[in-house]
Amino acid sequence: GQNIDQPTEMTATEGAIVQINCTYQTSGFNGLFWYQQHAGEAPTFLSYNVLDGLEEKGRFSSFLSRSKGYSYLLLKELQMKDSASYLCAVMDSNYQLIWGAGTKLIIKP
């Protein structure tokens, strides 16, 4: 079966750095997406990785290792507004997104 694993919840301090991991087992691979979802709101697109390596976009970076079935989202200089759930999703061989349950990130002052 297809499976996406990510931690249920993480806590970090304002101004610090946090890494949210995602491991996956899917039928084929056509890219990995990270989304941010604030409570009660819609998911919003953060990043896309299809090749191995690090993609940097401002305070957020995303890393992919296809051989290990592994990705992480790195958030730097954390702000209170970064408190949200972070969703990892893999596009399978049918170009359908398989979603993890999300990691709830709590930022403390």
Partner 1 sequence: IAGITQAPTSQILAAGRRMTLRCTQDMRHNAMYWYRQDLGLGLRLIHYSNTAGTTGKGEVPDGYSVSRANTDDFPLTLASAVPSQTSVYFCASSDSSNQPQHFGDGTRLSIL
Of 45, 52, 84, 76, the C-alpha closest to 66 is 52
Q: How far is the CB of 39 from partner 1 (least distance, A)?
A: 11
- The owner of tokens 């953060």 is 46
Find the part of the chain contacting partner 1 (CB under 8 A) among 19-27, 53-61, 64-72, 100-108. Answer: 100-108
Q: How far is the CB of 15 from partner 1 (least distance, A)?
A: 29
Sequence-ordered strand ranges (E) for 14-66: 18-25, 32-37, 44-49, 53-57, 60-65
Pairing of strands 84-91, 32-37: antiparallel
Choose, by CB under 8 A, the member of 27, 28, 38, 41 that binds partner 1: 41
Residues in region 58-87 near partner 1 by CB under 8 A: 87
Give the β-pairing of 9-13 and 103-108: parallel
Residue 102 binds partner 1, judged by CB under 8 A: yes
Taking CB under 8 A as the criterion, the residue among 11, 13, 27, 44 binding partner 1 is 44
Name the one residue in this structure whose structure tokens are 């790195």.
74
Positions that interact with partner 1 (CB under 8 A): 4, 30-31, 33, 41-45, 48, 87, 89, 91, 95-102
